[in-house]
Each structure stands twice: as structure tokens, then as C-alpha cells.
Amino acid sequence: MNKRISIDPDICHGQACVKGTRIPVYQIVRMLANDGTIEELLGEYPSLKREDILACLDYATSLTKEYISPENWLLIAESLKI
């Protein structure tokens, strides 16, 4: 995991947060997805650094990686008639 992201069961119910804050990763990603800019986020959260925001995106990206084993790919291909 990125050194700028932490998961602690005692902080924000164990949600991934920017390390040393109570700012959840999902909040940063959602704000960017809703047309927020890095500059706006830095203005709203003065404790954040640009690297923190990029770490949030990197962490969120890592959650979307999927691994499909060759066996599962064959099952998927068969079901899709590929």
C-alpha cells in the first residue's frame, strides 16, 4: 500500500484515509470525479499535499485491478460464446 494512505480500524471505521488525517480516500476521489480539481482540494484541505491526492487515485486504481485466471477466462468465454 502507498505510504501516504493508512487503514486503521480506530479511524473513520477502518476506511482508507490520507495518512495522519481523517480524510477518506473515497471523498477525495469522489470530489475529483465530480469535476473538482487538485487545486480546489488543496484549498479546501490545507493539510493535504498534491502527492496525497495522487496517492488516493493510485490506491483507488489498485482496487479496480482484476485478475482472471486462465480457468475462469475459459468459463467466461464459454458463457459469452467467444
Domain encompassing residue 14: 5-80
pLDDT at 64: 82
Split into its structural domains, the chain has a count of 1
Burial of 33 (C-beta count, 10 Å sphere; 0-12/13-18/19+)? exposed
CB 25 within 8 A of CB 56: yes
Give me the CATH number covering residue 64: 1.10.10.10
- Report the half-sphere exposure of 9 (CA within 13 A, side-chain side): 0
Look up the pTM and report it.
0.77
pLDDT tens digits for range 24-44: 999 999 999 999 999 999 999
pLDDT (tens digit per residue) in 1-16: 689 999 999 999 999 9
- Mapped onto helix, strand or coil, the DSSP state of residue 40 is helix
